[in-house]
Amino acid sequence: MLDSPVTSAESADVVIVGARCAGAATAVTSARAGRSVIVLDAAPLPSETLSTHLLWPAGLAELRTLGVLADVEALGAPRLTQAYAEGAGYGITSTFPTVDGIDYAMCVRRTGLDDVLVRAAIAAGADVRTRCRVTSVLWAGDRCAGVRYTDRTGAVVEIRAALVVGADGRHSTIARAVGADEPFLTVPSGRDCYYAYWRDHGDTPRDTAAQWRAGADLGTAFPCDDGLVLSLVQPPASRERSGPGEAERRYTDAVARIPALAARLDGCERVGRVRSATGIASYFRRSTGPGWALPGDSGHFKDPVTAQGIRDALRYGRLLGETVAATLDDPAALDRALHEWERRRIIDCRAIFHWTNRLARGEAMHPLEIELYRRATTDPELARITTGIFSRTRPPADLHTPALALRLVAGALRHQRGNAPAVVADLAREIRGATRNALITRTTLRGEVPRPAPPSTPLLAAAPSGSH
């Protein structure tokens, strides 16, 4: 099927497909640099999108850099100044590290957050157009040169641009159009994800981001705006096909299996339906090529268990705009800048990618993990390292030192007597995993990826734009 005849054509320096976190951040920085920017999104905005939307201090620092933190805070989400983690009967409370003067987290619903970001893009000078569905990309030889889209009236419009940015989520239209939709590294998650909002009751402190582990289940409670609390559960992934009511059933069952989470929600009123994400996989895609780039989930995605998506979408969208602003008039220089931006993201994100996949295994806590929790109850530094990893101020390697490993093994053998074979097996498994991840880092995630060839024909079918 061919596109309808083009009714109008125009041009811009940058055209961005997807107006949420990654797209808006790219638009803000590109427009502030004096570039002409057009942003297209298939959805009406503001609107909901599937997202766990917890922002660690590093994510809030990105909002501050974009100049929108005050507007986001005005949405009313409380500052979360405490982190609490509980597993195997051990509860650990810690504070957050300070990132650019910010020592708290926030959980902000996406309708409000995305609205603030879109308004910032417009204020910076970007032309944001909603309910516009991209149907194909335009090519000049092997170079991406723009997009064709259908607007809300059904008119078909072409936009020629020096750079096409696909900020349109995991099911990216632009990734498919440029032949980059197949990841060069993918790791299936061992967990499914379900979440819902609850009306918090008045006598519950709303300053704590909490996580519980019970058996193979993981559950959270994050106070957010409008007096609500976001509660997410991640049970082991199911291979059964989801049917009517499946999300509701699996969510309710998982909450019931985590007694501390059920107690936190006792007296709260559920608001709205259960949202779900199943069949999840973390991945890296090739994210740049001649005239195109993929920030946000379109190019790189991590399981929501570590809540890194929004921070990375904001950061690498912002850095993309800053990186290319001065090179858009020189195709060769632009391509070099894009390549360096992609390399930087791979190098920056590979350690947290491995860490996330470790937590997403969908299994009950193993002996060494139990011992880590036990030690952290009396060793505040271990708790600080963990919150630092989530906040991207500490590398995961700080929890994987040989000295700490020996202490954990010795402690597990002492405190989990009669379980020595499981402790040894767990240690062997950790060594194998660390070796495998080191090999992946040196090879697949070394920062250099092969360039995909452009497709022989342009994409003619599109999926909705969005961002995790």
Is the pLDDT reported for residue 350 higher than 70? yes
Task: Determine the average pLDDT of the residues in 117-138.
Answer: 98
pLDDT at 368: 96
Q: What is the per-residue burial (b if ≥16 Cβ within 10 Å, else e) of 161-177?
A: bbbbbbbbbbebbbbbb
Which CATH code is given to the segment(s) 8-51+61-76+108-188+281-356?
A: 3.50.50.60
* Residue 455 confidence class, pLDDT cut points 50, 70, 90: low
Task: Determine the average pLDDT of the residues in 334-341.
Answer: 98
Instruction: Tally the C-alpha atoms within 13 A of residue 294's C-alpha that lie toward its C-beta.
Output: 30
* Residue 175 confidence class, pLDDT cut points 50, 70, 90: very high
What are the tens digits of pLDDT across the range 227-262? Answer: 999 999 999 999 877 778 999 999 999 999 999 999
Task: Determine the average pLDDT of the residues in 140-150.
Answer: 97
Q: Are 429 and 409 in contact (CB under 8 A)?
A: no
Instruction: Tally the C-alpha atoms within 13 A of residue 372's C-alpha that lie toward its C-beta.
Output: 23
Indicate the average pLDDT of the chain: 94
Choose between 95 and 449: higher pLDDT.
Answer: 95
* Residue 452 confidence class, pLDDT cut points 50, 70, 90: low
Question: Kind of pairing, strands 228-234 and 300-301?
Answer: unpaired
Domain-wise residue ranges, the chain: 8-51+61-76+108-188+281-356, 193-277, 365-442
Is the pLDDT reported for residue 124 higher than 80? yes
pLDDT at 466: 37
Which amino acid, one-letter code, is at 52?
Answer: T
Choose between 372 and 450: higher pLDDT.
Answer: 372
pLDDT at 3: 52
DSSP 266-306: TT-EEEEEEEEE-S-EEEE---EETTEE--GGGTEE--GGG
Query: From the CA atom positions of the chain, what is the Rg in Å?
Result: 23
Q: Could you give the C-alpha distances from 117 to 14, 165, 318, in angstroms and in order?
A: 18, 17, 12
What is the distance between the alpha carbons of residues 233 and 334, in angstroms, rounded to a whole number?
42
**What are the φ/ψ torsions at residue 436 (nearest 5 degrees)?**
-60, -45
What is the distance between the alpha carbons of residues 426 and 433, in angstroms, rounded to a whole number?
10
What are the tens digits of pLDDT across the range 194-218? Answer: 999 999 987 888 999 999 999 999 9
pLDDT at 468: 35
Is the pLDDT reported for residue 463 higher than 50? no
pLDDT at 417: 85
Closest CA to 94 of 103, 104, 84: 84
What is the distance between the alpha carbons of residues 291 and 159, in angstroms, rounded to a whole number?
13
Burial class (CB in 10 A: 0-12, 13-18, 19+), 433: middle
* Residue 453 confidence class, pLDDT cut points 50, 70, 90: low
* Residue 28 confidence class, pLDDT cut points 50, 70, 90: very high
Helix axis angle, 21-32 to 57-66, nearest 10°:
40
Task: Determine the average pLDDT of the residues in 319-334.
Answer: 98
pLDDT at 454: 56
pLDDT at 84: 97
Is the pLDDT reported for residue 449 higher than 90? no
- The pTM (predicted TM-score) of the whole model is 0.94
Task: Determine the average pLDDT of the residues in 144-161.
Answer: 97
Task: Determine the average pLDDT of the residues in 385-412.
Answer: 95
Choose between 8 and 300: higher pLDDT.
Answer: 300
pLDDT at 457: 45
Dig out the tokens for 338 from the structure: 């894009």
Percentage of the chain surpassing pLDDT 70?
95
* Residue 450 confidence class, pLDDT cut points 50, 70, 90: low
Task: Determine the average pLDDT of the residues in 122-147.
Answer: 97
DSSP-H helix ranges across 360-448: 367-376, 380-390, 402-415, 420-442
193-277 CATH, one of 3.40.50.11540, 3.30.9.100, 2.20.28.270, 3.10.20.600: 3.30.9.100
Task: Tell me the residue ranges of DSSP E strands in 131-216.
Answer: 133-140, 143-150, 156-166, 185-188, 193-199, 208-214
| DSSP secondary structure letter of residue 214 | E
Task: Determine the average pLDDT of the residues in 298-306.
Answer: 97
